[in-house]
Amino acid sequence: GEVVLDEETLEIRGVRRQGRHERFEDLSVGAREQMAVITRLALADVLRGAGRPSAVILDDALVNTDEARLDRMHLVLHRAAENLQVLILTCRERDFRQLGAPVTRIQ
């Protein structure tokens, strides 16, 4: 699929897949979360490629994602972390424990 962005605001407008356009608002909450995370990672990678390193900070992202898709998103996050700094702020530590990243608890 292809993410469709608003060219002025860079907001996600929808996704085009198999020749069909689907509005962002019509997707499930979990699908919207996943698209938002992937889009942020992609934009950060574009900046990195242009010599402008950036960090991606995700705050309670993917809480509406089912387990199978969360496993796939773990692969996406792990691969992104090879080239980008990715910080995940969450109250659902168990969802990200298997990534093997350092954990810091803030109280």
**Residue 50 confidence (pLDDT):** 95
Whether 103 has a pLDDT exceeding 90, the answer reads no
Phi and psi of 86, rounded to 5°? -120, 120
d(CA 74, CA 65): 11
**Residue 74 confidence (pLDDT):** 93
Nearest to 32 by CA among 61, 59, 52: 61
Phi and psi of 97, rounded to 5°? -55, -40
Residue with tokens 């530590």: 93
Q: What is the pLDDT of residues 20-31, one digit of tens each?
A: 999 999 999 999
**80 vs 107, higher pLDDT:** 80
* Cβ–Cβ under 8 Å, residues 35 and 15: yes
Hey, what's the torsion of the CAs at 60, 34, 40, 95, to 10 degrees?
Answer: 40
Cα angle value 39/45/47 (rounded, 5°):
105
Share of the chain above pLDDT 70, in %: 100
